[in-house]
Amino acid sequence: MSNRQTVVYRKDYKAPNHDVETINLVFDLIPDRTIVTSTMHVVPREGRESDEFELNGESLQLVSIKINGQPSLTNQYAMNAGKLIFHSIKEPTDIEIVTRINPKANLELSGLYLSNNNFITQCEAEGFRRITYFPNRPDVLAKYTVTLHAPKECKVLLSNGNLVDQGVLPDGRKYAIWHDPFPKPSYLFALVAGNFTVNEDKIELNNDKTALLQIYTEPGNENKTVHAMDCLKKAIRWDEVRYGLTLDLERFMIVATNDFNMGAMENKGLNIFNAKYVLADDGVATDSDYAAIESVIGHEYFHNWTGDRVTCRDWFQLSLKEGLTVFREQEFASDMLGSESAKVVKRIKDVRALRTAQFPEDSGPMAHPIRPDSYSEINNFYTMTVYEKGAEVVRMYQTMFGKEGFKKGLAEYLRRYDGSAATCDDFRTAMAEANDADLSQFALWYSQAGTPRVSVKTQWDESKKTFTITTRQSNRTLPGQPKPQPLMIPLAVGVLNDKGEDIPLQLEGEPLPVGTTRVLLLNQDVQTWTLVNVDRRPLLSLGRGFSAPVICDMDLTRDQLVFLAKNDSDLFNRAEAFEKLSILAIDAFIQELRKTQNANSLSPMEAYLATFEEILNDERLSPAYRAEILKLPSEQAIYESQIIIEPALIRAACQAMQKKIGQRLKTSFEDKVKTCTTEGIYKYDPDLAGKRALKFLSLSYLVASGNPKGVQQTRNFFEKGNNITDKLGALSIAVHSGLPIRQEMLNKSSIAWATEPLLINKWLEVQALATSVHGEMPVVNKIRSLMMDPLFSIKNPNNVYSLLRTFFAKGGPEFHTLDGSGYQLWIETVLNIDSFNPQVSARLARTLENWRRYEPRLSSMMYKALRYVSQQKNLSADLREIVDKAIN
Ligand code: 0A1
Ligand code: ZN
């Protein structure tokens, strides 16, 4: 494992001295001693800086080196700190390197490893160097030919590209030869060998070719790939229709594994997926899982163009492929939803995820621009900022140029850089030139970190009938960013009159109004816009659809928020207004509780309850929309609204609020549970999923208010539900509310779900979100005992994320206990996992990085926990970077 601690800087980028035109890899696959023979055709680049040919290697045993067929002499190369350097390659040269590796001992799950005795690879970002010596950087693109030799029990032997040959070797072992005609960087290499079953289909492409589609899973899962296959076909079609991008392969393969550090990986033609983003049926996947599978299948498929055909020049450019591909994935998932209202729900969910996870990242010790300037460990930069904020930055091009303009820009980018490695600047320039625009100021989005704040003031002049909007943007100063510059911010706005109607928007100097939603393009610290012919009292609807990843501040009174929550024609902004109202209401509870500590004496704002009720019963709004908007803001969202985070107080306020709402709106909620209960066999469909969401939302308010019928219904949905959305929905309510029936339900599910890894993860996750019950074991102790359960393995990332990461990130007061027991568990597990899987330990460790924002009693213990870990020797580079940045 690498525990080197060097910082890599973007400014130090140097082009490679050599290209590797072709690489021929032969794998003798044996679990504990695989032999890898690599033969590269190396060609010096014109204008290179030197003749040194530099390769990376990690955890490799070097067996032999040949240069142009001759055993190499030791003075021809040097080995130094994970690098193999050939001193002088001046001519095209064939270099053969034989290495030995131990996939069985590879618990980092980077490089070649075993999952349930099957061979799997993960090479992004720097896993390929754990397979063989190679210039393991994204700007070295080679054509790969791969030969796999494997024991005869190995049913399936896969690599990228096309199958050239397969058969049985003289010694009885099997072989397969694959050739990938597309040059690719080494991080896109993949191989899979083992016992899998396959679901196959075909698709006619828009170039009249037919492609073979295959989804490989471990035996027993054959019937769980129908949804994934359907999503794959939809994604292929969508990219053809929306962007004119056609699948360039004869065969496109997906393999599902239960042992994977991340979500999925876009290896050329051979995507490898965490099983949770592939497998679905009524017994293992919830409505949200079905939606997530569609998004992730889309995401990996779209990488085929944005990532694989055009890749990144260096890892600082990661958002070039990730921000763009997340944006494409979001657009795809949105287009797959029939109604406008369903699309809005998707947008609300995406924005909420950004606000609760990316905004804190951008204001904490790991804040970085979407194109970072430095890193110690690149694996730490697969972040919400690079992915989700990156996607918002890409979305702004579309907001500015429209869908057609964006499409032109994307086409221009792909035309210019197809088959090569590009930069974020290349993308921006292609967008600018295709749209005849000056985007030089827009470059700041790539170099400035922190969430910009836009404060808005408005003024209506009744006599002049003008309405002025003044915007003031402020950007955070950070180390390395002492003087942040104003950004180019497309801000979509609308104006409501006093009847709640949108008014036509006419700016001073314009002959006629132009629409009712307009994009103001901010580019200075302070700016003013004047709307004319505004003859009735107006109210601004700001940042419609979340047109830019900024925090919009506008002093709105409670009544104005109510007005917007009821009337805004922009459904996204209605949800925004209602969320602000919810936070106001909860904040009032927090203040009260701080004084009285008596939850029973609290009474919610009438205006809030009335608006809540009106929305709940507004049948013109879809159930999915109502379920999303009426959910109390997550505790993480509330944390973001507080100056100092007090987890126990916030939980108490939320519980009290839920209870009060449940009591007051009992009849409406009971009605929703009844009318939203879906009958018949389970089918995933966004509308039905919306009904189920509203049903469980209503049930959770009823249970929170102690409603006995609600408790009975919870039990019924668990016992009688014919799908996992119902069963898990009921189980979550029972465990989170600490209902007496919860233990019986947990016991039953542990028996029924024990053989299905996906369900084990759900079972663990539910318990990570439990609430302690007076007189019983505290949740933190329960987590410890679950770690000893045979169903839990600390070696399995999904298990760790479900139980530990969920507990650390969302356990609230159960994790942040005043006796420090939660932090002690954090220390032990982070260090334990770091000894074998640094990517996972680093991700787990990030749950404490915003320690400064917590109340002093907690923050001092959080700091000590971080410092204790940072004082340990032999931390991985991954974990070291996280804890050191957190405390320094
Ligand atoms: N590129 C993949 C995500 C991914 C990144 C790193 C990995 O290992 C360190 C694995 C997967 C994606 O965006 O889907
Ligand atoms: Zn991606």
For 100, the token pair is: 């030995």
704 C-alpha to center of ligand 2: Å? 39
Mention every residue, 6+ apart, whose C-beta is less than 8 A from residue 78: 84, 85, 87
CB 335 within 8 A of CB 238: yes
420 C-alpha to center of ligand 1: Å? 20
- Mutational test site, ligand 1, from 299, 303, 382, max ligand atoms within 8 Å of CB: 382
Q: What angle do CA 348, 349, 351 make, to 5 degrees?
A: 65
Which ligand places an atom closest to the C-alpha of 277? 1
Q: Is 837 in the pocket of ligand 1 (CB under 6 A)?
A: no
pTM for the predicted model, two decimal places:
0.98
Q: Is residue 300 annotated as part of the catalytic site, yes or no?
A: yes
Question: Which residue in 309, 330, 332 sits closest to 321, CA to CA?
Answer: 309
Q: Is 122 in the pocket of ligand 1 (CB under 6 A)?
A: yes
CB 65 within 8 A of CB 94: no
For 341, the token pair is: 């209202």
Span between the terminal Cα atoms of the chain, in Å: 25
379 C-alpha to center of ligand 1: Å? 9
Question: Which residue in 354, 243, 384 sits closest to 309, CA to CA?
Answer: 243
Burial per residue of 704-721, b for 16 or more beta-carbon CB atoms within 10 angstroms, e otherwise:
bbebeebbebbbebbeeb
Which ligand places an atom closest to the C-alpha of 328? 2
pLDDT at 604: 87
Atom 12 in ligand 1: residue holding the nearest Cα = 265
Other beta carbons within 10 angstroms of residue 527's beta carbon come to 17
3-class SS of residue 337: coil
Catalytic residue among 218, 300, 377, 646: 300
Query: How far from the centroid of its chain's Cα atoms is residue 463's Cα?
Result: 51
Mention every residue, 6+ apart, whose C-beta is less than 8 A from residue 766: 728, 731, 732, 735, 736, 746
161 C-alpha to center of ligand 2: Å? 20
- Mutational test site, ligand 1, from 265, 378, 383, max ligand atoms within 8 Å of CB: 265
Which atom of ligand 1 lies nearest, measured to the CA of 260?
10
Rounded Cα–Cα distance for residues 855 and 593 (Å): 16
Rounded Cα–Cα distance for residues 380 and 318 (Å): 12
Which ligand places an atom closest to the C-alpha of 303? 2
Q: Is 124 in the pocket of ligand 1 (CB under 6 A)?
A: yes
Kind and range of the H or E run holding 197: strand 197-204
Atom 8 in ligand 1: residue holding the nearest Cα = 124
Which atom of ligand 1 lies nearest, measured to the CA of 382?
5
Atom 1 in ligand 1: residue holding the nearest Cα = 265
If the chain, 888 residues long, is cut into consecutive pieces of 10 residues, what is the mean pLDDT of each piece?
76 98 99 98 98 98 98 96 96 98 98 98 98 98 98 97 98 98 99 98 98 98 97 99 98 98 98 99 98 99 98 99 99 96 98 98 97 98 98 99 98 98 99 98 97 98 98 90 94 98 98 97 98 97 98 97 98 98 97 91 92 98 98 98 98 97 98 94 96 98 98 98 98 98 98 98 98 96 98 98 99 98 99 98 98 98 98 98 97
Rounded (10°) CA dihedral 410, 413, 418, 424: -110
- Mutational test site, ligand 1, from 124, 379, 876, 878, max ligand atoms within 8 Å of CB: 124
Which domains are present in the chain?
A: 1-195 (2.60.40.1730), 313-446 (1.10.390.10), 460-475+485-548 (2.60.40.1840), 555-666 (no CATH)
42 C-alpha to center of ligand 1: Å? 28
User: Which residue has tokens 């969508």?
Assistant: 238
Q: Is 266 in the pocket of ligand 1 (CB under 6 A)?
A: yes
359 C-alpha to center of ligand 2: Å? 20
3-class SS of residue 185: coil
641 C-alpha to center of ligand 2: Å? 30
Q: Is 187 in the pocket of ligand 1 (CB under 6 A)?
A: no
Length of the chain (residues): 888
Atom 2 in ligand 1: residue holding the nearest Cα = 265
Atom 13 in ligand 1: residue holding the nearest Cα = 322
pLDDT at 3: 54
Cα–Cα separations (whole angstroms), residue 38 to 25, 163, 414: 5, 19, 31
Q: Is 859 in the pocket of ligand 1 (CB under 6 A)?
A: no
Q: Are strands 526-531 and 191-194 parallel, antiparallel or unpaired?
A: unpaired
Q: For residue 819, what is the DSSP state?
A: T
Mention every residue, 6+ apart, whose C-beta is less than 8 A from residue 75: 87
Q: Is 274 in the pocket of ligand 1 (CB under 6 A)?
A: no
For 406, the token pair is: 């964006």
Which atom of ligand 1 lies nearest, measured to the CA of 839?
9
pLDDT at 363: 96
